[in-house]
Structure 1
């Protein structure tokens, strides 16, 4: 009888382990909507030196881990050997492009499928270390690379890209730096603004960005607007996504996408717990289309199931 009971307990515990909810731990996340499928990419919470993992879902609730890399250093034929951070994936001229950070430089690769493998491409050559790429296509089809240059802090810049997206054209223009009180709550000598995402509404350009060191509980998301893609940018005085309204530390560095129901969504990461920064967890919240502020009751943490 003891044996049978022990066996039953072991069986039940085994099932409990198998059914345990596993959080998605992708930092600096981005979502590509391709047909009926959502593809989620981000900085690996396991080992960011190997490349970029991805998950996919049909409904934003049931996420499946691919257990493979969309872009893999071990496969070769890509730029970079370490520190694979902050990818952006989009479809352009029949190909899928991934712009990403590696070795504190910006690079790109291409694929025939959102699942990869992303290969080829190369570095977007610069005279300074740069991270966090975001490619914005304006109404005339021209491409602008928003990115962070590591110069007197993490500062957001914009520069035009060549038609084939392989190189910068012209001199980068500074857009955003940490000057507001909420953007540098630790009073650090190295201020941080990073993770830019830009959309256009009518004639207005809107930039979502994150500020503070990512390890700071006050890491948060702000908004700035401009009448030109190169600024000048006018910031809102306070962040729109912050631990005060989300209820989690380290809220930031995400991307915008429109879901299949037409909702404007922001995907971002938060600290693992109140005490631990990593591995960072992935969350999504819907935004009010008029105010661009989060609809907090739509907030959800992503899990593998």
Structure 2
């Protein structure tokens, strides 16, 4: 059971990380589970007591949320949230231990949910800033990933559509960004509504530039309880199998009446004629981990 999950596929092995939502896994940080077929999962398999990053390995004392894993210059990196700030740790293996010197990225405010994206020789940090709502921003990063370039900081989107704020709250939420590129078009996948809301769901926006401006694709989400018959569907990430098939990993509520511990789910998705959608006839997979 991982909330805000991400899956990193490396040499035929899938590594599942997320916000620790499993009452059977004690400790703070990011546990990791492994699989070779997306059906049977083992772990926690992290190098530090089952954790790929455990409290004390670097920056953060609480609120370890929403990691992203990527490979860069033959090293493995983890961008993550702690103390409502963003930090980046590095390791020699996807199971860690990921470490850093104990500092977050410089920031003038609270920021969460990082997603690092490489494109045409530049590095971009998509993330959420807590400023009159949860709003998704992007900025170019320094090549060494040590900081953003402040002059490039740009808002991407915030919640404006009815499906993104079904309870009509004043502090609206757009969060959990994932970005991919197909041809000349960029896709920003995000989640909206509070994660405790049964209508938590995922939509996407498109742009011809990684910096935007972004156009929301439709007036409805492409991952939601209406499509999948589970409440609280959202805050995930895109990953691919070795054959290049695309999947979305995300969390759902534990049940129709209980939010936590949230359950991890995987569904095949497709990108056709500029439209992201759940693959027709696909069944959800549940990488349940005790």
TM-score when scaled to structure 2?
Answer: 0.93
Q: 2:260 aligns with which of 271, 278, 292?
A: 278
Q: State the match for 1:141 in structure 2.
A: 121
Q: 1:82 aligns with which of 62, 77, 102?
A: 62
Secondary structure of the residue aligned to 1:158 is: strand
Q: 1:102-251, aligned counterparts within 5 Å?
A: 102-121=82-101, 122-138=103-119, 140-171=120-151, 172-236=153-217, 237-251=219-233
Distance in 2, Cα, partners of 1:262 & 1:228: 24
1:190-216 CA distance string (max 9 Å, x none): 000000000011111101000000000
Q: State the match for 1:264 in structure 2.
A: 246
Q: Please identify runs of 4+ aligned residues in structure 1 that moved more than 2 A.
A: 46-49
Indicate conservation of the 8 Å contact 2:57/2:98, yes or no. no
Q: 1:54 aligns with which of 32, 39, 44?
A: 32
Indicate conservation of the 8 Å contact 2:58/2:100, yes or no. yes
Count of residues in Structure 1 that have an aligned counterpart in Structure 2 = 278
Distance in 2, Cα, partners of 1:55 & 1:235: 33
Secondary structure of the residue aligned to 2:282 is: helix
Q: State the match for 1:298 in structure 2.
A: 283
Q: Which runs of 5+ in 2 are unaligned?
A: none
Structure 1 residue 229, shift from structure 2 partner: 1.0
For the aligned residues, what is the CA RMSD?
1.4
Distance in 2, Cα, partners of 1:261 & 1:269: 24
The answer to which structure has the higher helix fraction is 1
Distance in 2, Cα, partners of 1:49 & 1:81: 11
TM-score when scaled to structure 1?
Answer: 0.88
- 1:66 is aligned to 2:44: yes
Larger Rg: 1
Structure 1 residue 49, shift from structure 2 partner: 6.5
Distance in 1, Cα, partners of 2:181 & 2:277: 16
Distance in 1, Cα, partners of 2:171 & 2:247: 30
Distance in 1, Cα, partners of 2:232 & 2:176: 13
Distance in 2, Cα, partners of 1:261 & 1:168: 34
Structure 1 residue 130, shift from structure 2 partner: 0.3
Distance in 2, Cα, partners of 1:303 & 1:90: 23
Distance in 2, Cα, partners of 1:304 & 1:86: 17
Structure 1 residue 302, shift from structure 2 partner: 1.5
